[in-house]
Structure 1
Amino acid sequence: MAKYLQLIDQIQQQIASEIWLPGEKLPSLREQVAQSGMSLMTVMHAYQVLESQGWIVSRPQSGYYVAPRAEFLSQPASHQKVQLTESVDINDFIFEVLQACRDPDIMPFGSAFPDPELFPQRQLMRSLSAVSHSLKPADALNNLPPGNEALRKTLSKRYALQGIQVSPEEIVITNGAMEALNLSLQAVTAPGDWVVVENPCFYGALQAIERLQLKAVAIASHPQHGIDLTELAATLAKLPVKACWMMSNQQNPLGCTLSREKKQELVALLEAHQVTLIEDDVYSELWFGSEKPLPAKAFEKQDSVLHCSSFSKNLVAGFRVGWVAAGRHAQRIQRLQLMSTISTSAPMQLALVDYLGSRSYDVHLRRLRQRLEQRKSLARQSLRRHLPASAKINDSQGGYFLWIELPEAVNTTELYYRALREKISIAPGKMFSTSEQYANYFRFNTAWEWNDSREAAVATLGRLIAEMLQGQRWP
């Protein structure tokens, strides 16, 4: 772990343990240098990150202080550590929420996608135009499963840069990450099988489990530390689990990233029980700081991890190009794809090959991460200004989601409908669980450029929440 991250973790733990109380002054930069033995630049960077996350505040000519309302979300007091669900039925509500986000007049805080203006649209369109003019009849066949060879080789090289050996023959190009995840789940399960998910979890996992007639085992996940491995181990000892679908980096909706040690322990535990890990890693490029977190796949020893990702959250949503590093399951997934969508669009695959060959991708990613980090900080500050003091905001080192806990008196599904009448969308907690345990939580998308209209929308959200806390009935 980078030194500045070590210092961030240390100070966060000290604040959480109330060694430093809200409003108290922290050691100065030079005092921290002397105490930690780190360089001044390292300490400055750590303090700047802590400030951007809302843990501390700076005061001119005075120094750094613990933020007045440092927040630490925990799991709900009534939280079940393990929840068994033999029949998942959540698709209709999720469809309703996602449809509302399509309205251009709606403030899209409930959207799952980042602001498209963050993407290099012109360069991508130039690449698409270039390949469209040179398409040959054979290109349609050459891009059938497992997908374009040059694109698979490019992905294989990007894995290699992280020290992960994935052959191009193990990679299957798909119609976005959702197809990669769905095909992966279908490849290793049969109707009636048990599948582990996190609680809360990405609603796409619940939709897939419902569609494939599987049974869900939801394991509690902590907002900062992720899935409870003790409860996972106990569950694996009791039930014939076939697969585990989870996010180890920038988990949606919590935003947390598992530590390297926890990823290693997770993979070892699943391999000991011969359970396949379906790793949803669509936010893997949206990390903040100086070091990209490894996926759980980096720690496999038995070809046990199906690693799924896409370009939709970091480059272009409309192309719908994803992939799965499927290992020994690659042939099975190709056959399943041929029986469903047949293949991913040949022009889109070729356009990505052309763009990625320009070496502009990593420049774009660096700029994207910087802008997302800035926007997340601005959105968090706005929420703190307008939400009641009792609201808690879970922040994270990456991505563009904030997970927000409101007092139990506020049902966020009702808040969703009230806000929708004001042309504002949120993602209520009901979307991310098969129970009502997260009825007072919601996910907030921070990827949009901050302006007066977004500030006004957050103020409206604050007013609606205040009205609900005062017991005002909804007309």
Structure 2
Amino acid sequence: MSDFIYQKLSSEIIQAINSGILHEGEKLDSVRKLASKREIGVSTATHVYRELEKCGWIYSIEKKGYFVASQNTKNTESNKQSYGNYFLSPEELSELPLANAVQFSFNDPKILPLSCTAPSTVVDAEVILNQMHRKALKRRPYRMLMQDPVEGLTALRIEISKHYLRSGQVVEYNDILITNGRKDSFFVVLQALKLKKSCIAIEAPSSYFFQSMLQEHDIKTVAVPMQSDFSVELELLDKAYQAEAFSAYLFNPNFNDPTGRVLSKQEKLQLIAWAEKNEVALIEYDRGELSFSGQRPPSVTSLLMTDSTCKVISIVDFYDTISATISLGYIICRNTYKECLFAKQVNIEESSISLQYMILEMLQSAKYNKFVDKVRSQLAYQCRQTSIILSEYLGGKVIINKPSGGPCLWLKLPKYISSRELWHYLIKFNIAIAPGCMFITSAQFDNYFRVTFGLPWDEKMQLGITNMAKHINDFLQSKKI
């Protein structure tokens, strides 16, 4: 049984019960009907229902089926242990450090988590993943028992290389290492570049996920505030380097910052030239697959000349494009392949060979491109709808960026308004945003906050965004804005 299918389906049923979509006493699909609708095995469907019944979410009547149980009599302690469904009140959340509180709010079904991004969830991937999983197991059953090469399946690395070539980018397959997603990828990079005893510059705002890892490993960082004019940012980067030489620069060239910009090819070449001159390694968190236009912006690794000595590593994660339940990604290592390979071999578990074959099947059959096109199209639609709602209630009071891709919008409050204070205000209404201070180590961008549109789009999501906009309007009016 695939754990991610079981967990996903269980979570969906629990969320439907908590949100009132499924009511007490309502009959659920039969086991066979559920298995048929979701294209899963009868044994998997049976296991889902039995586990939910054990935890008190549903009950069964012999020869009649399964029904939604009363939540007043549900075994809370059992549920807490089995599903981690123990959630804090807004008051309890407010007492936590802000970053921890935001993290806690992600999985609480009572809270609309506009603070997190899971772009691949905007299109349901379950059917295609089940199909690919069955194909992988059916076609290569004996290979599943063999040890996976440290660098990942050669066939998959070749297909990834071909995928880049379709967008006019040359990435050699023997520069690609398959990993277990961005966390493992970044850890490999830290080890390969020996950054644990060094200093690293990070473009700010930057991924909270990566910042947390850097803090966890006690790595010294220098924040370089992003600028809408990249030439100004490059000057700031150079000044920071002159003040304290660092050995690597972590940046996201696509969509993630408050301007929603995408660095041009020329700007990326300027960055490479600067890094090569100063012997600074570049670490690119590449989310270019999420471009609304469908034209993937060039990876910095693809722009490196063959005779360049600059060390450049791109981190890419299938979490963004296929499913939030898949722990698989890759890094492109230019002039760092041997170091990264050794770091992976010593420190990281080998990537799931069945997952690799699933992605390989998707790439070879062109289903990957078709699916990602759907994700991009849906994200673009949700971005427009979210912008329309926010502009209706907040137009003229906040500045809303216009990203050309990705899963989120940045909003700028008046300069003297803190997004921290706004977070504490909105959480009272069970709405979570991501304050700008989470993404930078200094006080800059405190009046910015991030809102996701990269979650499944339904009436609840639209209503939640509308309510958020109304509450923000009330908040600003209380500040006499």
Partner of 1:124: 129
State the shift of 1:119 in Å: 4.2
Partner of 2:260: 255
Tell me which of 334, 337, 361 is aligned to 1:354.
361
Tell me which of 405, 411, 427 is aligned to 1:404.
411
Contact 1:191 1:213 in 2 (8 A): yes
> Greater CA deviation, 232-241 or 392-401?
232-241
State the shift of 1:362 in Å: 1.6
Partner of 1:276: 281
Partner of 1:340: 347
Distance 1:449 1:133, change over 3 A: closer
Distance 1:327 1:274, change over 3 A: same
Alpha-carbon deviations, 1:238-287, whole Å to 9, x = none? 42211011111223565321112111101110011111101110x21111
Partner of 2:290: 286
Partner of 2:152: 147
Please identify which structure carries the higher helix content: 2
Secondary structure of the equivalent of 2:178? strand
- In the aligned structure 1, how far is the partner of 2:298 from the partner of 2:247? 24
- The alignment status of 1:110 with 2:115, answered yes or no, reads yes
- The alignment status of 1:180 with 2:182, answered yes or no, reads no
Secondary structure of the equivalent of 2:288? coil
Paired residues in the alignment total 381
- In the aligned structure 1, how far is the partner of 2:230 from the partner of 2:402? 12
TM-score when normalising by structure 2: 0.73
- In the aligned structure 1, how far is the partner of 2:109 from the partner of 2:231? 34
**Percentage of pairs with the same residue:** 24
Contact 1:186 1:212 in 2 (8 A): no
Alpha-carbon deviations, 1:182-220, whole Å to 9, x = none? 311331134341211112111123122212322111112
Tell me which of 403, 407, 414 is aligned to 2:421.
414
- In the aligned structure 1, how far is the partner of 2:324 from the partner of 2:454? 14
Partner of 1:47: none
Tell me which of 370, 373, 376 is aligned to 1:363.
370
Partner of 1:64: none
- In the aligned structure 1, how far is the partner of 2:232 from the partner of 2:104? 30
- In the aligned structure 2, how far is the partner of 1:443 from the partner of 1:140? 44
Root-mean-square deviation (CA), in Å?
Answer: 2.5
> Greater CA deviation, 212-221 or 266-275?
212-221
Distance 1:363 1:146, change over 3 A: same
- The alignment status of 1:267 with 2:267, answered yes or no, reads no
- The alignment status of 1:468 with 2:472, answered yes or no, reads no
Partner of 2:64: none
Residues 57-206 of structure 1 aligned to structure 2 (within 5 Å)? 93-114=98-119, 116-133=121-138, 136=141, 138-206=143-211
- In the aligned structure 1, how far is the partner of 2:120 from the partner of 2:345? 32
Contact 2:179 2:330 in 1 (8 A): yes
Contact 1:201 1:253 in 2 (8 A): no
- The alignment status of 1:296 with 2:300, answered yes or no, reads yes
Contact 1:124 1:351 in 2 (8 A): yes
Secondary structure of the equivalent of 2:351? coil
Partner of 2:379: 372
Partner of 2:220: 215
Alpha-carbon deviations, 1:267-310, whole Å to 9, x = none? 110011111101110x2111123633212223223252111102
Tell me which of 212, 222, 237 is aligned to 1:232.
237
- In the aligned structure 2, how far is the partner of 1:343 from the partner of 1:99? 29
Contact 1:223 1:255 in 2 (8 A): no
Contact 2:258 2:411 in 1 (8 A): no
Distance 1:134 1:377, change over 3 A: same
Distance 1:273 1:383, change over 3 A: same
State the shift of 1:388 in Å: 5.9
- The alignment status of 1:307 with 2:314, answered yes or no, reads yes
Contact 2:280 2:310 in 1 (8 A): no
Structure 2 unmatched runs, 5+: 1-95
Amino acid corresponding to residue 261 of structure 2 in structure 1? C
Contact 2:171 2:302 in 1 (8 A): no
State the shift of 1:469 in Å: 3.3
